[in-house]
Amino acid sequence: LAGVTSSGVLLALFQSNAGGAWDNAKKMVEEGYEIDGTVHGKGSDVHKAAVVGDTVGDPLKDTSGPSLNILLKLMSVVALVLAPFLKV
């Protein structure tokens, strides 16, 4: 139970933060920015990659990360409820 809780919390934090970062990266590219004299904006290869990242990031941020928190709570409650029946 301790291993599931610690790894689940870290995974949920990673998924929520990574999804938000990829979403913000797409917004930054759409505003346009310059690297080494080259302007990257809508229609560029960087924008196409950012759209793919946003497509992956939105489900991570909105569904997968928060649902892991619910799963962790459920596992803890089930373990506490079943513990008296499993005593040796």
The string of DSSP codes covering 59-80 is: HIIIIIHHHHHHHHHHHHHHHH
pLDDT at 67: 87
Chain segment 19-34, per-residue pLDDT in tens: 899 999 999 988 888 8
pLDDT, mean of residues 76-81: 92
Tell whether pTM > 0.85: no
Check the CA dihedral 73-74-76-80 and report its sign: positive
